[in-house]
Amino acid sequence: MALIAVSGAAPADAGTTYSAPLRTAVKSLVVAAEFNSGYDRDRYFGQWIDANKDCQNSRHEVLLQETRVTATYTSSRRCSVKYGKWVTTWDNKIHTSATTVQIDHTVPVHEAWGSGAKKWTQAKRVAFYNDISDKRTLNAQTSALNSSKGARGPEQWLPPKNRCAYVTSWVAVKKRWGLTVDATEKAALTRLAAGCPNVTVTVARR
């Protein structure tokens, strides 16, 4: 991953596709110490946005992407999702009310900040926060589990179910956005990936 430059300017390989087996992808992650000083989620990443101006912000776009049935809305304007059917991948639980799930950043925003996003432009940080074009970046998850995860990575926290899928998504997001890993994180990812199917990780780099 030496070609990825974590900076405010677009890296040389932005817009290209990366594809490799999971263990190869983990091995290629660049190791660097995390620097989390100055982190301010609201100031530097903002909130959910309505990028396509259809009145549905990123939270509701994810809910609509992931519902297994036709969603219903809180009003006739169809801006906010009320009911649907979501199977949250960390615990395989079924939810029918949007109020029982939170939209999780697979790689937490605080983690992204300390792994390279601190040096990005504001526009790129907002794009990361609202990345609905790669379904591994944002997912509906059971609220209590999302709260328990907090800003921790796989070296400190793993979901009770589908851990290999979680690890694969974590690596995919790191590769997509050119984020670094610290030494403890990489050791954990290496160990975890060794026990998972060596699936191909393919991402469109940002």
- Residue 79 placed within a domain: yes
**H-only helix segments in 96-142:** 109-114, 122-129
Around Cβ 99, how many Cβ atoms within 10 Å?
10
Q: Give the separation between CA 141 and CA 103, rounded to whole angstroms.
A: 6
- Residue 85 placed within a domain: yes
Q: How far apart, in Å, are the Cα atoms of 53 and each of 8, 50, 138, 140?
A: 26, 5, 19, 22
Domain that holds residue 93: 17-204
What tokens does 50 get? 């309505």
Total domain count, the chain: 1
- Residue 8 placed within a domain: no
**Average pLDDT of the residues in 193-206:** 98
pLDDT in tens, 137-175: 999 999 999 999 999 999 999 999 999 999 999 999 999
Q: What is the mean pLDDT of the chain?
A: 94
- Residue 53 placed within a domain: yes
- Residue 162 placed within a domain: yes
Q: Name the pLDDT band for 96 (thresholds 50, 70, 90).
A: very high
- Residue 66 placed within a domain: yes
Residue bearing tokens 């304007």: 77
- Residue 57 placed within a domain: yes
- Residue 27 placed within a domain: yes
DSSP strand pairing (200-204 vs 138-142): unpaired
